[in-house]
Amino acid sequence: MAWEGPGFSREIITGDYLASYAGEKGLGESSAKEIYRLGYSVGFFDATQALAFKPQYPPLDQDEDGVYDNWELANGLDPNDPTDAVSDPDNDLLVAADEFLLGTSENNPDTDGDGIPDGAEFALQLDPLDASDASGDLDGDGASNLDEYLAGTDLSDSNSVPEAEQQLVFAQGFVGQYFQGTEFDQFLVAQRETEIQFRAGYGSFVEQQPNDDFSARWLGEFTAPHNAGERAYTFRVTTDDGVRLFVGGQLLISQWRNRSPTTNTAQLSLAPGEAATMVMEYYERGGGAVAEFSITDEATGENLQLANVVRSPDVSEPVSVDTDNDGMPDTWELRNGLLPWADDAAAVNNVGGVTNLEAFQTSVSPWTLEPQSSPESPAMDEGQTAGPVLPDTAVTLTWTAPLTRVNGSSIALSEIASYEIYYGLSPDELSNTMVVSGDQTSAEISDLASGTWYFSISVIDTEGLKSEPSEVVSKTVP
């Protein structure tokens, strides 16, 4: 026989260290499989820690909790405390005894760093020590194991695949948002503009605006049209009165003041095909109203046709894409005078104190609180009034099937008959129960009242033996 492992190459095991397990003393009732598994785990750990090989069996385990003393010390556990064998400091749903036998880390929830926690990999029959299996495809449905895990779909069911990620639909030009008041005080309307070329004399830019004291915002994405090297572009604005221009998140021009028609420029260098978001903000105090914008390619001196190089989301094609992750889709924000590239969920734009996010959730205008409908927020039935979205009253519990019994012996998945879940509104009174089959590792408990709920679980084997309840965990239902 020979062996090899991390940190040492293959070497012969001499006869001094070999014996028939059938005649070995001190093995008790352990099976050959258990002995091999334990010995391998000890040998693997010793090799990775560059420790001298120790032929003794059973290995050092002062508290007799089934976990090798040296491994406990290396992982911050107490070799004299048998209870820490069921601890899980990294919350990967694998207790210390399991992590020792598997060779995973007790203090790192994702030992191989592949994006799937150790406990989930074990439950899904992946290898928590092999990062390459994250890119595999267990069920051959075209989605990687990692993508399926992140999406919450079934890695073993080819009919269960992640939903295709929605993409924004773009149209040429800008989305223009028009307001009453010089500080975007009251939103009036949003509409598409292929360019920004307004000279309204003593009037306004849209019919709904007053002739004085109004503001506007134009949003789009500029894509550098050149195909080689870095190139400078000049952004030019002419306004009467104030203007601010943001490109790629940078404030390039800031002239937020009353003035006669004045031109300002700023340059920015971009890579071939590089895209940059643009926001031009404007206000008119009184008198003439002018707002003009252009882009010049400094390499050619050409004024670009904006309809060819500027695009913005088509607000008539609403999707759930939420660029700023504030809970409101980009197209809904654009249609309602908000910024899709800044988290403005908590802002209030109405006298009722309703936040932008609450307005979206209840299908009302964030400015007037009038009911509205959109594909993201379905229309209300006649007679229905806007109200808060009901919170989710269900809790989903997940767990990992145990590898060992309390006495340290192994338990196969086929030996697990069922799980019994206990729950209640007090950790000391888990008076509600639910039983699920032994082949499950998750369960949903629905219709829970608001409050903090507490949960624990026991394992029942095919002989009717039941484990002690697990540590209590909690979840607050809104």
Q: Who's near 36: CB < 8 A, 6+ residues apart? A: none
- Report pLDDT for 186: 96
- Structure tokens that stand for 267 in this block: 């340059």
- Report pLDDT for 39: 67
* DSSP label of 73: H
Ranges assigned E (strand) in 150-230: 170-172, 174-180, 186-193, 197-199, 214-223
Question: What CATH class does 170-313 carry?
Answer: mainly beta
Spell 384-402 as b/e; 16+ CB within 10 A means b: eebeeeeeeeebebebbbb
pLDDT along the chain (478 residues), means of 10: 83 74 46 63 68 65 75 79 85 83 84 88 87 88 84 83 76 95 95 94 93 96 95 96 95 96 96 95 95 96 94 86 89 94 92 90 90 53 36 74 83 88 90 87 83 90 90 85
What is the C-alpha R_g of the chain? 32
Q: Who's near 138: CB < 8 A, 6+ residues apart? A: 124, 125, 126, 145, 155, 156
| H/E element, 443 | strand 442-445
Number of Cβ within 10 Å of residue 449's Cβ equals: 8
**In 3-state terms, the chain is what percent helix, strand and coil (to 5)?**
15, 30, 55
Question: What CATH class does 395-477 carry?
Answer: mainly beta
Domain ranges of the chain: 2-109, 170-313, 395-477
- Report pLDDT for 220: 95
Give me the phi and psi of 277, to 5 degrees please.
-70, 150
CA distances from 244 to 254, 341, 342 (A): 5, 16, 16
- Report pLDDT for 389: 36
Among 467, 470, 354, 350, smallest CA distance to 418 is for 467
CA distances from 213 to 134, 224, 256, 340, 395 (A): 58, 35, 14, 25, 51
- Report pLDDT for 338: 95
Q: What is the pLDDT of residues 28-58, one digit of tens each?
A: 455 666 666 666 666 666 677 666 666 666 6
